[in-house]
Structure 1
Amino acid sequence: MGKRRRVAERRRTRPALLGGALAVAVGAGAGLYALYGGAAADERAAAGHKTVRTGPPTAAEIRTTAARFLTAWQHGKVSAAAAATDDPAAADRLLTGYTKDAHLTDVTVTARPPKGARVPFAVRATIAYRGLSKPLAYDSSLTVVRRASDGRPLVDWRPAVVHPDLTDGDRLVTGASGTPPVKALDRDGGEITAARYPSLGTVLDGLREKYGKTAGGTAGIELRVVRGKAAKDAKLSDKTLAELSRGTPGTVRTTLSPEFQAAAEQQVDKRARASVVVLRPSTGEILAAANSGHGFNTAFQGALAPGSTMKIITSSLLLDKGLAAADKPHPCPKTVTFGGWKFHNDDDFEIKGGTFKASFARSCNTAFISQAKKLGNDDLSRQAQQVFGLSRNDWAIGVPSFDGSVPVQSAAQMAAELIGQGGVRMNPLNMASVAATVQSGSFHQPYLVPPSVDHRTLATASRTLPARTLSQLRELMRYTAASGTAAEAMSGLGPDYGAKTGSAEVDGQKKPNGWFTAYRGDLAAAGVVQAGGHGGDTAGPIVAALLKRGS
């Protein structure tokens, strides 16, 4: 009889379920929820046996572990919540700061139905600081894993569990911002806001971080993400999450064009994971930058293999060294072996008796790999740095940016870099600048904020292309836009134009990243659609639509 009573009591203490979701939202006077199905007994039993459970966590373990963590968190029981994770020390620090530094109170967490081992949940809290208060609401999630040493299910600790904008080393802080807000203006004097241009949220954060203290504003009170070392190394800016009292913003004028920015936002919204940049070759002014994902700024800070768009730089090198000429015969076999790797063309095509121009226009990989044996390991890196201003980490555009990377490599990796694979990394800003350099004849460092605003010095290239190389390079890009892989996207935009397509293979990705860079008149643009497929079909229409606005 006693045994049946204990079983009944245990059943009555199971948590309530709302629509299949574990209800962990509790009031100030409620106690901790009991755990699923006698979990405490299971742990005592496990302590007496040496058998370690393996395999993915069960559905019951996922619900139980999530309930343990979320319930302890919302009750302010930091040690108990941290103990439910696989990194108690890191969890304890961040959860302590959630109350102490971020001044978040009245926390309510509501779990939603698990999706496998991932448990989504909603957070509602109040920011309370020196007589000011404001509600805060956001969504996050956690993942339950099994610890290998003892088989115990635990929350896989990541700062993003506490808030999705947090990365390793970041903190949530409420107080005087320290950095006044800024009012960013476009080139026509209109205000730039994230509500109007969703892609520019990170750009506005970067402008505030760099110019907030010098633009003439005063600080307000806010909840913000204060970046740690890892995030700062990745050039991520502090981020405002909520304002309790707004400071007085200073003013920063940018080079952005409201027409081009609005059009860029519309274009990238047509495809997932798309990014694009438009700039003016004669000056380097950035007219637009947009990403279909409004978090990380791939347009300025991405580091992706650029695929065959890199052949613009490689072609300039081969032309400079006399290893190719636009209208002279050039080999394009089905395959070429170099450094122990066998390199292929798309679908193993070949061009018999063709010119270098034909190989460039059709994006023949082997036409470039075949010349690798005649190049030094540092030739491509030097060409990128000295002529195109890349891979030197010295651009100062006004907000954080990645300036491209063309590392010195040898053997097969060096050959792969010739076609935009291997260790080469670029973003749309970099590749738009490459097209702009070809159009203008010399490198002009792109910039978003005019250098006159803060008297900074822009990066310069140490040399320009010889006139013969430049004219042939323009001929290659013009022919590609007219009759090659870029022709469909660039239809009707000639004759003062040039383009190059690219497709970059990524390990574990079914489709390649599609790249496209082009110029028309005094406009240059580049775009990427990650996992989109061929660049002419994916990024090409985005770039071409923006270049058409220059007419």
Structure 2
Amino acid sequence: MRKGAKVAVVSTACAVLLGGAGYGAYNVLSAIGGDGIALAAADPDDPLDAEDVREASSAFFDAWEKGDGYAAAAATNDEAAAGALLNGLSEQASVGDVRITPQKAKGTTVPYSVRATVSLDGRSERLAYDTELTVVRGRTTGKPLVDWGPTVVHPELKEGDTLVTGPSDVPAIETVDRDGKVLTAEEYPSLGPVVDQLRERYGSSAGGSPSVELVIRHAGQNAPDTPLLTLAEGKAGTVRTTISAAAQKAAEEAVNQYPESSVVALKPSTGEVLAVANHRSDGFDAAFQGRLAPGSTMKIVTAAMLIEEGVTHEGGPAPCTEDAVWQGQTFRNVTGLVPNENATLADSFARSCNTAFIKLIDEVEDDTLTRVAQERFGLGRDDWKTGIVSFDGSVPPSGGPDRAANAIGQGQVQLSPLDVASVTATAKTGAFKQPYLVSPELDDRRLATARGLAPDVAAQLRRMMHLTATQGSGRDAMRGLGPDIGAKTGSAEVDGQELPNSWFTGYRGDVAAAAVAQQGGRGGEAAGPIVAAVLRAGG
């Protein structure tokens, strides 16, 4: 009898009637289907032994190798989902001749290699990859089963994805930088998702011809296919981007020093994106699509509002107190910041004093920050057309404590590094230039516009950012970058995080950059070095 099974006598009369019948009685009982005896399932919480793991994984592997998707699915704990994907391997993906080589199990996890052939219309290519599965007990039967997930079939599959083989929907592309240098995902890993999007959007008009490929077809709307194997080469078209290979390389290297970090660099004079890099466990393009509280980098926009509205100016009062109360909520500064009741706006900006900005917010209306963000900096209107998917920020009108919190980049404000880099670019030149990765001339798209800043407002912002970079909270990160520099630090508190998100933005000449490192601490500690490295590389 299998480990964990129990014999339950459910009828005393039956037990007496058959008592002493021995082996024959066991066979009778088994044959009558449990009228007298019920075989209870193993407890789902019973531990699994090596034999359980071997039997469950072997049953799955054997059925998969035979091409029996239904039997393989029955060896998992989600037969419906597993069956749909496994049967699609031969029907949609043309995958056959599967050979699986299990490695030594690590507890209940079994690593294995998959070798298969993908064949379509007389063309064949070998497919090889490594993945793993885990064995668990079924929650109702207690039977050892493969814990189903798409990565059991291929490590790059996510929920809802399918594998498909056929002519590509769009031809392959060769992505090049602003000077014609080829940009590959192998050399610049952060550009992999970017290239996929560029191919989806511009491949059909880039002069190429389709190839025959095995691809991952993603469940998400507008998500481009991810090619895995090419059976027949098409002709690649060429898509020129605004990327600078030198800046991109510096960005890739910089974000790799800090987990969960992203950076964007662009040219303030044109809006051209010079670099976009991410180092994240989830592969998400937070550089362009992130929706995060930007912390004190938002004070660039808030300072512009205060100056424009006549509340104060760079040399005007902005007292930095120990705390500030706004509509019942108390706001404080970062630990270690010494209060200064006689501080000017430039002083409080350079040292990133929260309370100075909170105390001045009473002089404006609930929607004033929103209006300035939209009209002057082009934020929050959902009209940027960068060439790939991007988020152009959200600065909603807010009452109550959120009005004050928004002013220091908390509350309801959400921005991406792309947005913050654009804010810095607007402060640098006084003119809003919508960021873009692909020239609008390629597809005649219309770029967003905004009024930009009055010359005097822009000049004051530049001087305050220069002070921050040379004498304030950004000086350590910006040291040695030359005379034409400016910066703003930020740290954004997030519920449940031990450390705040580290933000930093700055400019050097005609390059502006912004970075975030989630749970990176203060702005100069993680995001600052990332931005400085990209600015040092130039455009």
- Give the TM-score normalised by structure 1: 0.82
Alpha-carbon distance between aligned partners in 1 of 2:177 and 2:407, rounded to the nearest angstrom = 38
Alpha-carbon distance between aligned partners in 2 of 1:113 and 1:179, rounded to the nearest angstrom = 41
Do the aligned partners of residues 119 and 433 (structure 1) sit closer, same or farther apart at CA in structure 2, a change above 3 Å counting?
A: farther
Do the aligned partners of residues 307 and 146 (structure 1) sit closer, same or farther apart at CA in structure 2, a change above 3 Å counting?
A: farther
Per the alignment, residue 20 of structure 2 pairs with: none
Alpha-carbon distance between aligned partners in 2 of 1:147 and 1:507, rounded to the nearest angstrom = 36
Per the alignment, residue 94 of structure 2 pairs with: 103
Alpha-carbon distance between aligned partners in 2 of 1:211 and 1:144, rounded to the nearest angstrom = 44
State the AA in 1 paired with 2:260.
Answer: R
Pick aligned residue for 1:280 from 267, 279, 296: 267
Alpha-carbon distance between aligned partners in 2 of 1:59 and 1:366, rounded to the nearest angstrom = 60
Whether contact under 8 Å (2:44, 2:140) holds in the other structure is no
Pick aligned residue for 1:237 from 219, 224, 243: 224
Per the alignment, residue 304 of structure 1 pairs with: 292
Count of residue pairs brought into register by the alignment: 504
Superposition deviation, residue 238 in structure 1: 1.8
Per the alignment, residue 24 of structure 1 pairs with: none
Whether contact under 8 Å (2:492, 2:502) holds in the other structure is yes
Whether contact under 8 Å (2:262, 2:517) holds in the other structure is yes
Whether contact under 8 Å (1:398, 1:449) holds in the other structure is yes
Superposition deviation, residue 268 in structure 1: 2.7
Per the alignment, residue 500 of structure 1 pairs with: 488
Superposition deviation, residue 336 in structure 1: 3.1
Superposition deviation, residue 165 in structure 1: 3.0
Do the aligned partners of residues 123 and 457 (structure 1) sit closer, same or farther apart at CA in structure 2, a change above 3 Å counting?
A: same
Structure 1 position 517 matched with structure 2 position 517: no
Do the aligned partners of residues 150 and 521 (structure 1) sit closer, same or farther apart at CA in structure 2, a change above 3 Å counting?
A: same
Q: Map 1:11-410 to 2 at 5 A.
A: 53=44, 69-111=60-102, 120-142=111-133, 157-228=148-219, 231-232=220-221, 236-293=223-280, 295-338=283-326, 340-347=328-335, 349-353=337-341, 354-410=343-399
Superposition deviation, residue 375 in structure 1: 4.5
Whether contact under 8 Å (1:171, 1:226) holds in the other structure is yes
State the AA in 2 paired with 1:209.
Answer: E
Superposition deviation, residue 356 in structure 1: 2.2
Higher deviation after alignment, 529-538 or 374-383: 374-383
State the AA in 1 paired with 2:118.
Answer: I
Superposition deviation, residue 64 in structure 1: 6.2
State the AA in 2 paired with 1:474.
Answer: R
Alpha-carbon distance between aligned partners in 2 of 1:210 and 1:415, rounded to the nearest angstrom = 41
Per-residue CA deviation, residues 150-208 of structure 1 (Å, 9 max, x unaligned), is 77776554434433333333221110002011122222122222223222111111111
Fraction of identical pairs, as percent = 51
Superposition deviation, residue 113 in structure 1: 6.0
Do the aligned partners of residues 131 and 520 (structure 1) sit closer, same or farther apart at CA in structure 2, a change above 3 Å counting?
A: same
**Structure 2 runs not aligned, ≥5 long:** 4-33
Q: What RMSD over aligned residues (CA atoms) do the two structures have, in Å?
A: 3.2
Alpha-carbon distance between aligned partners in 1 of 2:157 and 2:71, rounded to the nearest angstrom = 21
Do the aligned partners of residues 378 and 332 (structure 1) sit closer, same or farther apart at CA in structure 2, a change above 3 Å counting?
A: same
Per the alignment, residue 488 of structure 1 pairs with: 476
Do the aligned partners of residues 341 and 162 (structure 1) sit closer, same or farther apart at CA in structure 2, a change above 3 Å counting?
A: farther
**Structure 1 runs not aligned, ≥5 long:** 8-43
Do the aligned partners of residues 212 and 358 (structure 1) sit closer, same or farther apart at CA in structure 2, a change above 3 Å counting?
A: same
Alpha-carbon distance between aligned partners in 1 of 2:377 and 2:134, rounded to the nearest angstrom = 44
- Give the TM-score normalised by structure 2: 0.83
Superposition deviation, residue 131 in structure 1: 1.7
Alpha-carbon distance between aligned partners in 2 of 1:47 and 1:303, rounded to the nearest angstrom = 56
Per the alignment, residue 536 of structure 2 pairs with: 548
SS at match of 2:311: coil
Structure 1 position 430 matched with structure 2 position 419: yes
State the AA in 2 paired with 1:484.
Answer: G
Whether contact under 8 Å (1:335, 1:348) holds in the other structure is no
SS at match of 1:346: coil
Whether contact under 8 Å (2:502, 2:519) holds in the other structure is yes
State the AA in 2 paired with 1:218.
Answer: S
State the AA in 2 paired with 1:418.
Answer: A
Alpha-carbon distance between aligned partners in 2 of 1:151 and 1:273, rounded to the nearest angstrom = 39
Whether contact under 8 Å (2:426, 2:453) holds in the other structure is no
Superposition deviation, residue 489 in structure 1: 1.2
Higher CA-based Rg: 2
Per-residue CA deviation, residues 464-501 of structure 1 (Å, 9 max, x unaligned), is 22333222222221111111111011113343221011
Do the aligned partners of residues 277 and 350 (structure 1) sit closer, same or farther apart at CA in structure 2, a change above 3 Å counting?
A: same
